[in-house]
Amino acid sequence: MRRKLLIAIGSLFLGSVSYGQMTMSDPDYVGANQLDCSALGAGGVNFIDMAGNYSANFDDTITFCPDLTQGTKVSIAFATNIGYEFDIHPTDTLYIYDGPNTSAPLLTAANSGTNPTGGNWQASFENNPSGCLTVRFKTDGAGDGTGWIAKVACGNLAQPYYPHLEAYVNGNPQNVLNPIDTGYVNVCLGDSILFVAKPLFPYSLESTGYGYSQTLTNLNYNWSISTIGPLGVNNDSVWFVPTARQGYFIDLKMTDQFPQLKGITAKVRVSILPSFATAGPLEDTICIGTPTILVGGVTAQDTAGVDVPGGEFTIGGSFAGLTFLPDGTGQLYQTTIPISGLGNGTVTQPSDIASICLDIEHSYIGDIEITLTCPNGTEVSLMNTYGGNGLVPGGCFGGGIGLGSDTDTDGGAPGSPIETYCFSFVNPDFGTVCNNLGNTYTNPSGYQSMIPGTYTPDGDFNDFIGCPLDGNWTISVQDNQGIDDGYIFQWGIVFDASLYPNFETYQNYYTDGFWSPSPNIISGQNDTLVVIQTNAAGHSFYTYNVVDDFGCEYDTTFDVFSLSLPNIFNDTLGCDMTFQVAGTQAYAGGVWSAVPNGLNFNTSASNNPLITANSAGTYTVSFIDNACNDTVTSTIIFPPYPQIFNDTLLCGDEFQVAGTLVYPTGGSWSAISPEVIFLPNNTTTNPIITATTSGQYTVTFTDNVCNNSTSSQVTLFLLPEIFPDTSACNFIYNVSGTVAANGGVWSSADTNIHFMPNANAMNPIITSSIPGTFEVTFTDNQCNTSVTSQIEFINYAFVNTVDTVICMGSTVLTSCGVYPQNDSYVWSDGTVGHDILAGPGVYTVTATNECNSHSATMTIGGKVCYITAPNIIVLSSTSGNNKFFLSYDGVQEFHISIVNRWGNLITEYDDPGAAWDGRNLNGEVVSEGTYFYNFTAKLQTGEEIQQQGFVQVFH
């Protein structure tokens, strides 16, 4: 029977088996004989105990080790169906050790009594870096069985790794996540949090040299924050700045290349803004100098102070990670999600469980069942495509269809991409899997798989009614036959949103509270209750500070208003014995009074009364306010009216004012007539008043303080004024500009002086019989004042000259006649003065005084005294000295002869204007040398001249 079964099985899998049947008697598969994982994965069953039934008292051991470059872990699957066999008498034992020898940890001691349907065991990561499994089979002879037909496989399984999460606030180097990994980060609003994933990879290629790579850089990261959602950041770190005072769940899912998903969560709690509603001053309006109390407080014993509101945040979800579903007959594999935070809620209707979703792959759904178990143990089928007597009765036979991207390679890595299958009674895409077995697609490995989507569960979710929401929810997968495997990568359960309480609460408390220093705090500075007293009016501010258990600092500022002293007018003046008060500030009014007596208030209880004075003077007025009984005073000066001189009359053009009475700020003088002048200026209290003409003038003085005016009249008779000392021509002077208040009389001590038409004329004509300087006097009739001036009567101008003769080409210094009445002499050539340096010619001189002028003409004759000639000529010169010529003037007769040094005549001529060109009488050019000339001349004056000389000739 056994041999025939083996032959049948062998022929069934012949096309895909690369290894022959391995038995307990084979040499160990270690060293150079390590397992070829790729060949094992492609085949079916490959491991038996021995040919036929196993023998009694058998005790042998075999070790299976993987070629670590192909796979890191060995697994052995024992089953009872579809080509598998497991029949070991209960007195016999199959031992499997997690390592390369029997010293390794024992994984199982199995027989048909302990494991009726077999089992699946694989080398662990935690205790077995070799990846080997050691099998020992021991029998005792009490009974026997047929043994087993099993499958040995190896490959790179999902390598465990361990999530680790750290948090750093505001760049500080200390990890503040407390407790570590899954605790809380307590921050203030505005703090920046850097979350850093630091998973540990003890079994990665980088750590062991085998398997697949697991590093920070080749993981995929999916960060999500409650109320925000997925961040879309695939990085091992993420910055988060909370924008609201609440809690946040931080959810990080990491997926390695397998893919194997791990998750880790943390919570952020943001400090809650305190309420300072019951803190502050007992009185917010006080009088200066009056103390009041400021109340703080943060402890439970304080009856007033700062209230601490609670915080809350939306709860996060949970998920379960990778679960390997190996070959097995009736093997049950489970993965659990612990649910918390839903309070005491229970399932009340099927739709409370919105959906259950699994990222799953499996090579053969015809032997699997999937159920969901709630916390009270109620189990409901999600999918039952086995059809036999398995985990859940009933079901259908799913046949050779798979789930997801399974590669149908035992012991190997999963396929890609990962597909999601959901089960829900709320808007499913399809009916049950059993009713949609034709709903398939060809996966990337070429096998038929169910189309991913949401299917209707096989079971009835009404069975869950009454089940608690909080607790362990478990997905169970039972593989009822061998030759297939798969993975659950992750799964999650989603409850109806109405079941979530949506928040977890937290409560801040405050560790410190204090008032900021202020000079107005007079006691209790280090307490939460302080006494203040102000010494200045207006707003004063006091800041109360608290520090909460998160280290966040808060403060609030209270405004205490100190009533100002009553405010009245400044010291002032009251004109016209009246002052209207204005601008008085008093919180609740007040009462007026004054010293000394003499002031009147139209109502003393008014804030702004009208004050009048009986007489000028300085008064002190007081105001006492009704709120704080404070007194303020000011001074009012009521100035006197100005007083000046009485009307007055005087001779002269000046009046010295005296005795003006006015307030110290003075005043200013004015007059209607523009002829009136005030010296040194019109603001002088006692100025000199002058006028340009005699007359009666009204002058006014206006004080500066109140603009009050008073006037008087001044009558001025100006002293007489006549012309200043002067001169006159033609012995006549016309008087003008005489000033006299009432006329007057002219007189002179010299009888040559005459006044026309008479001496009583204001502006007569004054004549003199002779030239000279004479004094005249005018005496006015009003004030009998005399004034005197001098008149110079000027004689006529006169000048004369004398003619003369000089040599031609010379000059002579000569003069005209000089006379005392003349002021200046100007010659016709522009010479100024009575002397002139002149050559022959005719000259006119003009003598001038302020009255008239007189001219005379002088002739200077010219005579020839000498004739000039050159002493060198250059015949080739182009500059004008190439000929011999004479400079002459006034020559009447002339003869010249030129001889050489031997006395030979060279040339002669009679024209004084002629020139010798260096040629002899024959027209020939003479030789260079010295030549001598001799000439006689008779001038136009009759004078005769004879001259000799020489000339040097050059060619």
Domain presence at residue 284: yes
Q: State in Å, rounded, how far the first CA of the chain is from the last one.
A: 165
The mean of the pLDDT values for the chain is: 87
Structural domain boundaries enclosing 624: 572-638
Please tell me whether residues 712 and 851 are part of one structural domain.
no
Residue 137 pLDDT > 80: yes
pLDDT at 338: 80
How far is it, in rounded angstroms, from Cα 566 to Cα 587? 7
pLDDT at 19: 59
Residue 7 pLDDT > 60: no
Residue 10 pLDDT > 60: no
Torsion, CA 147, CA 151, CA 154, CA 155, rounded to 10: -150
Please tell me whether residues 27 and 118 are part of one structural domain.
yes
CATH number for position 661: 2.60.40.1080
Please tell me whether residues 56 and 86 are part of one structural domain.
yes
pLDDT at 191: 97
Nearest to 869 by CA among 878, 861, 859, 881: 881
As a whole number, mean pLDDT of residues 31-36 equals 92
- The residue among 101, 120, 155 that closes a domain is 155
As a whole number, mean pLDDT of residues 613-627 equals 93
Please tell me whether residues 833 and 940 are part of one structural domain.
no
**Band of the pLDDT at 325, cuts 50, 70, 90?**
low
CATH number for position 195: 2.60.40
**Band of the pLDDT at 542, cuts 50, 70, 90?**
very high
Residue given tokens 């091992």 in the structure block: 236
Cβ–Cβ under 8 Å, residues 660 and 711: no
In three-state secondary structure terms, 381 is: strand
Please report, for residues 50, 75, 87, the alpha-carbon distance to residue 93 in angstroms, rounded to integers and kept in the order given.
15, 19, 11
Domain presence at residue 503: no
Please tell me whether residues 13 and 127 are part of one structural domain.
yes
As a whole number, mean pLDDT of residues 900-904 equals 91
The structure tokens listed for 574 are 């009251």
Cα atoms in the Cβ-side hemisphere of radius 13 Å centred on 380: 22
CATH number for position 893: 2.60.40.1220
Please tell me whether residues 614 and 659 are part of one structural domain.
no
Taking the CA atoms of 682, 685, 689 and 695 in sequence, report the sign of the dihedral they define: positive
Cβ–Cβ under 8 Å, residues 86 and 121: no
How far is it, in rounded angstroms, from Cα 771 to Cα 732? 10
Q: Which pairing describes strands 165-169 and 193-197: parallel, antiparallel, or unpaired? A: antiparallel
CATH number for position 17: 2.60.120.290
Nearest to 449 by CA among 369, 362, 370, 358: 362
Question: Which of 234-248, 392-406, 502-516, 612-626 is least confident?
Answer: 502-516
How far is it, in rounded angstroms, from Cα 489 to Cα 248? 26
How far is it, in rounded angstroms, from Cα 398 to Cα 716? 145
Count of structural domains, the chain: 9
How far is it, in rounded angstroms, from Cα 373 to Cα 361? 21
pLDDT at 51: 83
Residue 357 pLDDT > 80: yes
- The residue among 685, 717, 749 that closes a domain is 717
In three-state secondary structure terms, 679 is: strand
The structure tokens listed for 66 are 């993987």
Question: Which of 176-180, 506-510, 712-716 is least confident?
Answer: 506-510
As a whole number, mean pLDDT of residues 176-184 equals 90
How far is it, in rounded angstroms, from Cα 380 to Cα 377? 10
Residue 15 pLDDT > 50: no
Domain presence at residue 643: no
Please tell me whether residues 490 and 343 are part of one structural domain.
yes
Torsion, CA 821, CA 826, CA 827, CA 828, rounded to 10: -130
Please tell me whether residues 688 and 598 are part of one structural domain.
no
pLDDT at 13: 31
Please tell me whether residues 358 and 485 are part of one structural domain.
yes
How far is it, in rounded angstroms, from Cα 237 to Cα 777? 122
Domain presence at residue 537: yes
Please tell me whether residues 599 and 457 are part of one structural domain.
no
Q: Provide the strand spans (E) within 45-201.
A: 47-48, 59-64, 73-78, 85-87, 93-97, 106-110, 119-122, 133-138, 147-155, 165-169, 184-187, 193-197
Residue 458 pLDDT > 90: yes
Cis, bond preceding 393 (omega within 30 deg of 0): no
As a whole number, mean pLDDT of residues 688-706 equals 92
**Band of the pLDDT at 42, cuts 50, 70, 90?**
low
Please tell me whether residues 286 and 259 are part of one structural domain.
no
As a whole number, mean pLDDT of residues 748-773 equals 93
Please tell me whether residues 595 and 698 are part of one structural domain.
no
Beta partners for residue 664, in sequence order: none
∠ Cα 404 408 409 (to 5°): 130
As a whole number, mean pLDDT of residues 921-925 equals 92
pLDDT tens-digit map of 346-356: 999 999 888 89
Domain presence at residue 317: no
pLDDT at 11: 27
Domain presence at residue 316: no
CATH number for position 859: 2.60.40.10
Residue 455 pLDDT > 90: yes
- The residue among 610, 638, 666 that closes a domain is 638
Domain presence at residue 798: no
Domain presence at residue 221: yes
As a whole number, mean pLDDT of residues 348-367 equals 88
